[in-house]
Amino acid sequence: MLTKMENCILYRFDNEQVMIEPWGLDALRVRATCAASFTDGEDHALLPAASVPVQISIDEKGASIINGHIRCDIDRFGVMTFLRDGKPILREYERNRYAPTDRPLCSALEIRPRMYAPHTGTGCSRITVRFEANDGEKLYGMGQYQQKQLNLKGCTLELAHRNSQASVPFVVSNLGYGMLWNNPAIGRVTFASNVTEWEAESTSQMDYWICCGDTPARLEQLYSAATGRVPMMPDFALGFWQSKLRYQTQEELLNVAREYHRRGVPVGVMVADFFHWPHQGDWRFDAEYWPDVKAMCDELHAMGMKLMVSVWPTVQEDSENYRELLEKGYLVRSDRGSRLRHLGNACYLDVTNPDARRYLWDKLCQNYRSQGVDLFWLDEAEPEYTGYPYSNIRYSIGSDLEKGNLYPLCYARMAWDGFSDAGQDETVSLIRCAWAGSQRYGALVWSGDIESTFDCMRTQLVAGLNMGLAGIPWWTMDIGGFHFGDTRDPGFAELLIRWFQLGTFCPVMRLHGDREPHKAPLSDHGGGALPTGAENEIWSYGEEACAIMTRMIGLRERMRDYLRNAMRQAHEDGQPVMRTLFYNQPDDETAWEIDDEFFLGDDVLVCPVLERGAVSRRVYLPRGRWRGLWDHQIYEGGRWMQADAPIDVIPVYIRDGKLAEL
């Protein structure tokens, strides 16, 4: 049965009901459930939407709803087709003969578009939603996966977070639509050549949002209006960030900052990484190794640097806060066995609980902000459970299987709400994971603990581009990779230089990594009990490498006005900072095939060197006229060319007539 209810369509048959309603311009939200009613108040990634005029019609054959350029037709058997300006773009997949008796028999497969497998004794089901595959379709976005494919057609993706994997389930199609799987359940999506299949392991209802537009830029504009836009990136964050595995003491960090200052190399942010605390869950510096945090911050500020400190949501059993957190019910639970699963004897703070978020923020203010600390690095944000036992974890809002992908969003919200309540509007939090909507909470996502190899660097480029298309414009990576970089290896120095050149043109330029050879612990207790990596400053790799990296930092400084404008586009219009070629050149068919070049903003085309030993690379210049950054020659676009790329050069091209200062 099809019914018009105010500005939406309701379909009911047997125990299923489906609601189709407008949600922003040129967009529809679709929910379905076998429960008695829809779950209200759980918009997850979506913000409340203003009312928009729609056209609804119902007859004996079915119903349709039109919101601007998008239309949904639903037949009397509940099968939906979506159209953009009258042209079909997405249709549900059905192969079912056991339909109502007046439906022609079409298949004995008994596959319906929406299938529910109830979990006995609960209000949740495993829900599978299928769509017909479109021949020749290209799909992008979906977050950060450690794979080489930019075009996701043909891929299967886990809808779950892991260290270096962030599921942000918004997909962009070259057919002119974008779709958000607005469900935080652990699941899977397959973009196969014969079917597209979305699956949620445990949920009470299906929920997705679909929009249409002529260009990827229009789709991002609509999506960011529906889920929120990043704040304006603060100016200090546009420069170079210095970090390593961990500075073991206050004096070590200050000496590094002083050396940058002495050399006249500007640093925007200095970072104090993990285990500067006595125990996980203390959320404070260990005074034995960091005796005067306020004096340290004052000195950094005098040199024009901000201090960012690492925050983990893990709590050791012997932390000074563990007992209180346990009594208040602020810790993540395990349905079976011990909750102490991280690094031997630690568990996680339940940041899905707003009271637990306030508790953590109060500790951060008491122990860090009061001493002059500026920024927080929200690490372990997936969270990183040993073995990722999704079926055994329970939050205040429900099971991990049902709600788990919300954890990093709630974690970012902790800092955002705290800074906002304190009247600070320049909020940026480095975080190791994200979900749809995290961008509105000032989440700067980095790609996790990745390997120091050329192949891995290549993968990060793809990850960053798809994160931008998934609506997360603030993205960065460990320049040089995290694992296995050896400061004594000339091959690693080459990799680091090439990665540093690439990182210069990322939304945030941040050097980090666990370098070999390791240094011994300072003691057997507290913040001195862990080893650290070798030095990881620009002068740690020889004079040639230092000169090249210093030159790139200088270039980054000269690009500040341009970067500021790109950040403003992200803030005001939802545009990625780091963009695929087709994003800026959607009418260029070749641009849709390029996955090893990118635009920074509107006018800077970056062609990184991604192979060991390469001193040139093949470059595609999109249509138009382009000026070489280094040789200042003018090149006609719409063609391939071979670009010189000695070790001190990354091929970069500026749209003719733009950025004359570079």
DSSP notation for 368-418: TGGGT--EEEE-S-S---TT--GGGEEETTEEHHHHGGGHHHHHHHHHHHH
Q: Tell me what pLDDT residue 499 has.
A: 98
Gap between the Cα atoms of 257 and 240, Å rounded: 12
On the question of pLDDT at 41 being above 80, the answer is no
Confidence of residue 661 (pLDDT cuts 50, 70, 90): confident
d(CA 551, CA 648): 9
How crowded is residue 52: how many other Cβ atoms within 10 Å of its Cβ? 14
Region label for 133, one of left (φ > 0), alpha (ψ between -120 and 50) or beta (otherwise): beta
The model's pTM is 0.97
Structure-block tokens of residue 241: 């960030």
**Bridge partners (DSSP) listed for residue 443:** 429
For residue 594, pLDDT over 60 is answered with yes
Per-residue confidence (pLDDT) for residue 98, from 0 to 100: 52
Task: Say if CB 599 and CB 606 are below 8 A apart.
Answer: yes
Reported for 324-332, long-range contacts at CB under 8 A and 24+ positions apart, including other chains, are 325/281, 325/349, 325/356, 325/359, 328/355, 328/356, 328/359, 329/353, 329/396, 330/355, 330/356, 330/359, 332/383, 332/393, 332/394, 332/395
How many Å apart are CA 582 and CA 465, to the nearest integer? 11
pLDDT at 96: 82
Residue 6: the pLDDT is 87
For residue 48, the tally of other CB atoms under 10 A from its CB is 7
The residues that are catalytic are: 379, 382, 449
Mean predicted confidence (pLDDT) in 567-573: 98
What's the confidence (pLDDT) of residue 492?
97
Cβ neighbours for 514, distance < 8 A, ≥ 6 positions apart: 244, 245, 482, 483, 485, 533
What pLDDT shows up at residue 505? 98
Amino acid sitting at position 301: H
Beta strand 2-5 with 639-644 is unpaired
Residue range 298-312: mean pLDDT, rounded: 98
Contacts 24+ apart (CB under 8 A), 250-256: 250/285, 250/289, 250/290, 250/291, 250/292, 250/293, 250/296, 253/296, 254/296, 254/299, 254/300, 256/537
In this predicted structure, what is the pLDDT of residue 323? 97
pLDDT band at 36 (very low <50, low <70, confident <90, very high): confident
| Cα distance between residue 607 and residue 106, in whole Å | 51
The CA distance from 44 to 294, in Å, is 39
- Return the percentage of the chain with pLDDT > 70, whole number: 98
Instruction: Give the pLDDT mean for 165-177.
Output: 98
* Stretch 48-52: mean pLDDT: 92
What are the CB-based long-range contacts (under 8 Å, 24+) for 99-102? 100/13, 100/76
Q: Give the whole-angstrom CA distance, residue 639 versus residue 641.
A: 7
Sheet holding 398-399, edge to edge: 333-334, 393-395, 398-399
405-457 tens-digit pLDDT: 999 999 999 999 999 999 998 899 999 999 999 999 999 999 999 999 999 99
- Tokens of residue 18, six digits: 């489906």
Higher-pLDDT residue of 425 and 210 is: 210
Task: Enumerate residues 6+ apart whose C-beta is below 8 A from 299.
Answer: 254, 257
| Other CB atoms within 10 A of residue 210 CB | 24
Q: How confident is the model at residue 564 (pLDDT cuts 50, 70, 90)?
A: very high
Four-CA torsion 402, 406, 407, 412, nearest 10 degrees: -170
pLDDT of residue 217: 98
Token duo for residue 79: 């099968």
Give me the pLDDT at residue 43, please: 83
> pLDDT (tens digit, 9 = 90+) per residue, 339-360?
887 776 899 999 999 999 999 9
- The DSSP call for residue 345 is T
Instruction: Give, in order, the Cα–Cα distances in Å from 245 to each of 530, 533, 536, 544.
Output: 11, 6, 8, 23
Phi and psi, residue 580, nearest 5°: -65, 160
Q: Give per-residue pLDDT as tens, 252-302.
A: 999 999 999 999 999 999 999 999 999 999 999 999 999 999 999 999 999
| Domains of the chain with bracketed CATH | 2-227 (2.60.40.1760), 235-573 (3.20.20.80), 580-655 (2.60.40.1180)
The torsion region of residue 624 among left (phi > 0), alpha (psi -120 to 50) and beta comes to left
CB–CB of 511/480 below 8 Å?
yes
pLDDT digits 0-9 by tens, 64-103: 999 999 999 999 999 999 999 999 999 999 988 655 545 5
Q: Are 359 and 326 in contact (CB under 8 A)?
A: no
Coarse DSSP helix, strand, coil percentages of the chain, rounded to the nearest 5 percent: 25, 30, 45
Pairing state between β 187-191 and 156-159? antiparallel
Kindly indicate the confidence band of residue 106, based on its pLDDT and cuts at 50, 70 and 90. Answer: low
Count Cβ atoms below 10 Å from residue 28 Cβ, excluding itself. Answer: 26
Mean pLDDT of 112-117: 95
Return d(Cα 635, Cα 333) in angstroms, integer. 60
- Mean pLDDT taken over the chain: 96
